[in-house]
Amino acid sequence: MINRGILFFSVLIISIGIVAYFLIPERAPVAVATISITDDGFVPEELQVQKGTKLIFTNNGQSPHWPASNLHPTHGIYPEFDPQQPIEPGGEWSFVFDKVGSWRYHDHINPILRGTINVEK
């Protein structure tokens, strides 16, 4: 014989799942953009994206690179925008921009290499 409490609980869980499936809106896919890091700089050097865009930094150079927000060396303007370590050649690091604004950044290892990410609503 099936316990009535277990049966009630099972029906309740299934019902909640069905209601949630129809009521919770589907999330829009995250936009993705890529910046290539070369030993000569960031390509493109300036990029315009929407808030919530996932930006992938790919190191296509021969040396390690470390993209991070200004100001050098503290990265204090947008401190979350910092991988906290170099990206080795052939490696990548991604970051989702969730703050609207114009975000300047540099290569922490070679700060003469610079770029700007413009994030819109």
Query: Domains of the chain (ranges plus CATH)?
Result: 32-120 (2.60.40.420)
The DSSP bridge pattern shows strands 32-38 and 41-43 to be antiparallel
- In whole angstroms, what is the distance from residue 26 CA to residue 12 CA? 23
> Is the pLDDT confidence value at 2 over 70?
no
Distance of alpha carbon 91 from alpha carbon 65, whole angstroms: 10
Q: What is the pTM of this model?
A: 0.75
pLDDT in tens, 91-120: 999 999 999 999 999 999 999 999 999 999
The answer for residues whose C-beta is within 8 angstroms of residue 54's C-beta and 6 or more apart is: 30, 31, 32, 33, 94, 95, 96
Confidence of residue 18 (pLDDT cuts 50, 70, 90): confident
27 — pLDDT class (breaks 50, 70, 90): low
Q: CA 79, CA 114: separation in Å to the nearest integer?
A: 16
Backbone angles phi, psi at 83, to 5 degrees: -70, -5
Cα-Cα-Cα-Cα dihedral sign, residues 72, 87, 78, 99: positive
